[in-house]
Chain A
Amino acid sequence: MQVTAMDIYRLLPQTNCEDCDEAACGEASCMAFATKLSEKEAQLELCTEISSEGFAKLESLLAPAVREITIGNGDKTTTIGGDEVLYRYELTYYNPTSLVIDVSDNLSDAEFTERVKVIEETEFERIGEMLTLDAIALRNASGDAGKFAEAALKLKKAKLPLVLCSFDSGAMKAALEKVGDERPLIYAVNESNLEEMAALALEYNCPVAIFSPNDLEKMKQMSRVLREKGIEDIVLDPGTFVEEGIGDSLDNFVMIRRLAVEEQDEDFRFPILGIPALTWLYEKDEIQGGIREATIAATLMNKYADMLIFHGTNIWELIPVLTLRQGIYTDPRKPQAVDAGLYEFGDLDKDSPILMTTNFALTFYTVEGDIKGKTNAYLLVLDTEGRAVDVSLAGGQLNAEAVADLIKETGIEDKVETRTLIIPGLAAPVSGEIEDESGWEVLVGPRDSSGVPDFLDKLKEKS
């Protein structure tokens, strides 16, 4: 449940910092600060007037429904959890799902180094943002404590934080002796190793995962025991069943999150871990396996997974996963839009071509990527309240009158002598109306902006 600004205001000093020129929180009043706090846009620490008792009360009131946990330290961290709501439209989802790739401790030196390099270097640029992976899961596949520790030591040099995967507390201890100071996630506590793993989590001050496949009652019990021992950073793995059992996995994920958000059940107020990598226990074909592993990842990411461990590293498998994550974790309160107006690309003169598109961020960055450095053109960007071409056409934000106004407002008519506007292929249905309204000639451009440079070249040849 989201805390209201009023709940927060009651606990603030309500001084409005009248005696100061400027309040430390930077807000005009305590009520304004309370509103910011409720929307998670300000930090409580900014308030200098609050008593320590008030601070403690507010801190607990403001604690998110799902505990926020950081794995790793220094410049190698990934943060998970922190969510407040069940549905993203209610507020937003915080801390994008952490994407982790496994590495096993029985690889040869060369294979090990190569795999780590692939994980570190995987990247994909979208809407002006570089999307990358977040952590490495070292798997004690050998079952040998010495090998596990040795491999952990090798990962000290890696650029990403670690998840240590073993149910053998002896192996876990050996690995923690090497990398325990880097705050890896200890995966995982189960019924038979609970005491030893809990002791290690406390000794090394590391977050720890609970593995309780298809048994939420046992999970609740183990969570309670860990909490009573003073362990605060817990991650929950209710088991990922990649075939017909995926329905059960979904149920478990949803129940855990509902218990955390709606019931405020302290034993479940923790991030959830899913393991799409389990696909490879049943599927040996690299392509089929990749498609199915990605599918499991999408299923769980849609329903609250805060961290996912993969085995596949093919870019065609990871691009859709990274893209889905980017979409789910955008802030629904802010339109994904760029400023409307006139943008200039390359060397321009009075005869340069004029293109038009909408101010949906994805549309804009896609068009920008397709023309920048590849052709010279003016680009008119229409305010469609952050909607794509086809959507704004259907919704009426892209209309002849708006385009005519845009031409006038940008003053493009003073910069060029041409009176020809190139509109996106998808906007073809309104080409006639734009001509009537603006008095300009309208050319229908390609449906996809990747075709723009070619389109402009051909246009030049004709003239």
Chain B
Amino acid sequence: MDKMSQLLKLLEKTDYIEINEFRMDFEELELQIMPAMQRVVQQAVTKQAAIQETIKTMEAIDFVPPIKDYPGEVAQVQLGAGSRKPVYLGGQQALYRFEEPQPNPPVVTFDVFDIPMPGLPRPIREHFSDVMEHPGDWAKKAVKDFGANVVTIHLIGTGPKVMDKTPRQAAEDIEEVLQAVDVPLVIGGSGDPQKDPVVLEAAAIAAEDERCLLASANLDLDYKRVAKAAVDYNHAVLSWAITDINMQKTLNKYLMKEGLTQKDIVMDPTTCALGYGIEFSIDVITRTRLAALKGDKDLQMPMSSGTTNAWGSREAWMKNDAWGPTDYRGPIWEIFTGLTMMLCGVDIFMMLHPQSVQILSEIGSTFTKEYLTTDVPDISNWITELE
């Protein structure tokens, strides 16, 4: 075969030729298009026509976003007043941001305790070991170093089997934290059903008009006393039911009979940790939010998650070489638990680890933006760009 035929043979299955560093000197040039070349051109023309046809079909298809109307809406609850910088929870009128962005980003609160809490997992203790003797310092660190916009002070020390601190001592702890930070507070008891209402009442008086969230009212304790303290001293109440939507409805109704309104109640439908029943919480929280948007007035309140429950899971804290270091497992366990609740509609998260708080806040902040208004990077070459 002569050189030209060889070249054309090579070109038989070629659409185009790229010639690098090519230089040619000539006075007169005559090009002869050979039959094989013509076939290539012909194929290219046919292919172009097919692509044109495809593009034409494609242009005829419209996309309509599946947006819905909801008859109900979630009440907006204000936390923080007086000397506090307020934050707002709830206020949603739709399920997803492509329908309507959320009016308020989800809020993350840092857990702080009135005693040094020797039982806290190491990955958390190491961030706070220098401030654990003083709840005020602890709260300040959470706000200053880790950007908390709410702090939860758990009055664990009031527990009869813990330190049996008096309601008066609890009130002093609250005053210390109020002095130390200017963010709103969530005030938690020790979990003792006899003592909690008394302790929360004392705390409510100490924080009069600062609009704290009293945690919690539930059916196992004197919820009327907690509700009255909130009404009398201008606070909101956390209404806590155990993964049961009917129990939640009942409790909310009872609380509203005591003079609280939708704008004074935050619900805690119970957060079961990742791997420890998280699917029960997914179902209850999803159903609660849907019910609110469909118009159920007894469930139209924002929701809270005790995300720290995640640290109770053995995969979060247990040393086990086959599972890798708890320094990473722990935060992921907390992030997953909170994130899953967030995606089902929870508005405020009680959390422990600085990195968990940071990542959850970042994702939560995107919820208030409109669909396709964020600058996103070009990922069209990810297959080769990824290392």
Contacts and interface: CB of A to CB of B under 8 A. Distances in A.
Interface of A: 87-89, 102, 104, 124, 126, 139-143, 165-167, 190, 194-195, 211, 213-214, 216-222, 224-225, 228, 239-241, 243-248, 250-251, 254-255, 258-259, 262-263, 267, 275, 277-278, 280-281, 287, 290-292, 294-295, 298-299, 302-303, 311, 314-317, 319-320, 323-324, 326-328, 330, 332, 360, 362, 366, 388, 391, 394-395, 448, 450
With a 10 A CB-CB cut-off, give which of A142, A143, A255 has the most chain B CB atoms.
A255
A294 B274 CA distance: 13
Nearest to A288: B355
Q: 10 closest A-B pairs (Cβ-Cβ)?
A: A316-B324, A247-B366, A221-B58, A217-B63, A245-B376, A89-B283, A251-B98, A323-B275, A258-B66, A302-B343
Given A221-B58, A280-B387, A450-B314, A320 B367 contact: no
Main secondary structure of the interface of A (DSSP, over half): helix
Interface stretch (B164-172, B258-266, B333-341): B333-341
A143 B324 contact: no
A327 B372 CA distance: 31
A165 B376 contact: no
A316 B276 contact: no
B184 interface: no
Nearest to B243: A391
B383 A388 contact: no
B57 A388 contact: no
A255 B286 contact: no
Interface string B258-300: 0000000000001010111111001100110010000000000
Interface in B309-338: 314-315, 318, 322-325, 328-329, 331-333, 335-336
A141 B363 contact: no
Contact of B366 (A194, A213, A244, A315): A244
Interface stretch (B47-55, B148-156, B205-213): B47-55
A295 B90 CA distance: 24
A450 B386 contact: no
B35 interface: no
Contacts, number: 218
A267 B343 CA distance: 26
Contact of B278 (A224, A262, A324): A324
A332 B283 contact: yes
B382 interface: yes
Contacts of A139: 383, 386
Contacts of B66: 255, 258-259, 262-263
A245 B374 contact: yes
B88 interface: no
A320 B315 contact: yes
B6 interface: no
B126 interface: no
Nearest to A318: B324
Given A247-B97, A295-B339, A362-B276, A278 B383 contact: no
B359 interface: yes
B336 to A, nearest CB: 5
B359 A295 contact: yes
B190 to A, nearest CB: 13
Nearest to B310: A320
B61 A224 contact: yes
Nearest to A217: B63
B278 A327 contact: yes
17 contacts: A88-B282, A88-B283, A190-B380, A213-B376, A213-B379, A222-B58, A241-B377, A250-B343, A251-B98, A255-B66, A277-B386, A291-B355, A291-B359, A317-B332, A324-B274, A391-B270, A391-B272
